[in-house]
Chains A and B, each alone.
Chain A
């Protein structure tokens, strides 16, 4: 049975796109067929991590939502870009970075049913084992949709008062949407903090599992979204933490 994994945070810049790319790649490297959809239509970006240039993507999620192409036509095989070989496959459905396209989708909106049916269609036609959904921060109709369909929802937060509050709001929404499984991930933790104590504190506060704690990393900053971290630094402690979270996704 295919699994849908949504990665979300209430606030921006928490690491959603990097988490999505790293977790999706980790699972594809285990021989699974994995799809990634960039539903962040107002500010897309994850294609950079997969080294997919806008010039190479003539069809995007936008074209699908406008009824101009099938969802499968907007999916690009990026397996080779991240060293996925053999039975494993990694596909990306990017959103358009053209200002005109973004303006059009914001102005005219789109049918959330179409987005949903597109996800299902993609899973069927590409025979995916996993579908990862990268999201725009905050609450919007695509956030509600991605939370409602996910088998696993990963909520990322930083140790920051604004993130704590926003995460609580998102969790209320997720419960209202009868989310099947929620996992928290704490990112950009200052190196001086005690990781285990933080994990425990957050788990107690929210009553949900913290799947991984990720320190703020110079190496990650340096990579600057020009690739997938766990491919560039497979032995790094951050990559190990990604594999730990991926394992929990697989076991759900």
Chain B
């Protein structure tokens, strides 16, 4: 699809307002606004500042329509969600074989911050656990730390279509208290799995986790993956087409920490969550979902975000392995056609 014209793009922004799908999202938002399970992350003081009532839901389709409900402009730190996308950039920098030789793609039942490496190969289990993400960040090319960070920020801009900043207090806090991550990095250095620019790479890792995004950005990230790596609004390519499946499949198997199995069973959408309260979920070829609510369940996933994704997946038959006729036909709910009229 070529770049869409101004008439179509303005018309899209209006039909996104009037579409029954927005009404559906509004109701979903209302339904789960009163769900107050879970707690706000507080392992560093900056994260504890998040308001528990913040709640945004955004859907972006692969043809570039944006549907929002709630606080979709509220910024928060991307945290672990960054890991999936940095993995994509590492693949572009080095190719599949080399990256796989440094980081495995095996799900682990262990917690995200566990200090375990594969015994036979010394590789961290996958790019979504902290150890794997640090090894992945190590692979990002660039002359120095600044240049490597710039490359990450440029990559996120290609996905979301806008500039991103770092939340400096969060970065400094993570850096000051990240003993465990530091220990993991040195353990991997000991096994020769990462290069010796440990401080630079750890800074980069803490910075990538401190990038500020909103729910709409998260929907745009996953919509870009769903659209084969091309941002559906700007039409810019964010990641080489051949690596889209790598990123998406690791999201499916490892994206939701140690709740990934349950998630795949119930929701069936490749997704990645972060302790900032975000979830990004991909319905390949169809759409991207971005949710934000800082109330986390025991496994570190946004409690409301999970509910929203469950409902969306069930109601529109988005589960990857769904073969049954869904209750609602997505295209009709977007256009208000075929008798879908919610007046």
Contacts and interface: CB of A to CB of B under 8 A. Distances in A.
Given A178-B336, A178-B337, A112 B17 contact: yes
Nearest to B334: A178
A189 to B, nearest CB: 31
Nearest to A3: B343
A176 B11 contact: yes
Contact of A112 (B11, B14, B23): B14
B43 interface: no
Q: SS class of chain B's interface: helix, strand, loop or mixed?
A: helix
Contact of B17 (A113, A173, A178): A113
Give chain A's interface secondary structure class: helix
Given A116-B17, A178-B337, A173 B11 contact: yes
B18 A173 contact: no
Interface residues of B, number: 14
Contacts of A178: 15, 335-337
A29 interface: no
A177 B14 contact: yes
B34 interface: no
B10 interface: yes
A4 B343 contact: yes
B22 to A, nearest CB: 8
Interface string A172-195: 110011101000000000000000
A101 B147 CA distance: 52
Interface stretch (A40-48, A71-79, A91-99, A141-149): A141-149
A213 interface: no
Interface string B6-24: 0110110011011000010
Contacts of B343: 1-4, 120, 123, 151
Interface string A127-149: 00000000000000100110011
A172 B336 CA distance: 19
Contacts of B336: 178, 180
Contacts of A144: 10-11, 14
Interface string A48-68: 000000000000000000000
B341 interface: yes
Interface string B172-183: 000000000000
Interface string B320-343: 000000000000000111000101
Given A1-B343, A112-B14, A173-B11, 8 more contacts: A1-B341, A120-B343, A145-B17, A148-B15, A148-B18, A149-B18, A172-B7, A176-B11
8 contacts: A113-B17, A144-B14, A148-B18, A172-B7, A173-B11, A176-B8, A178-B335, A178-B336
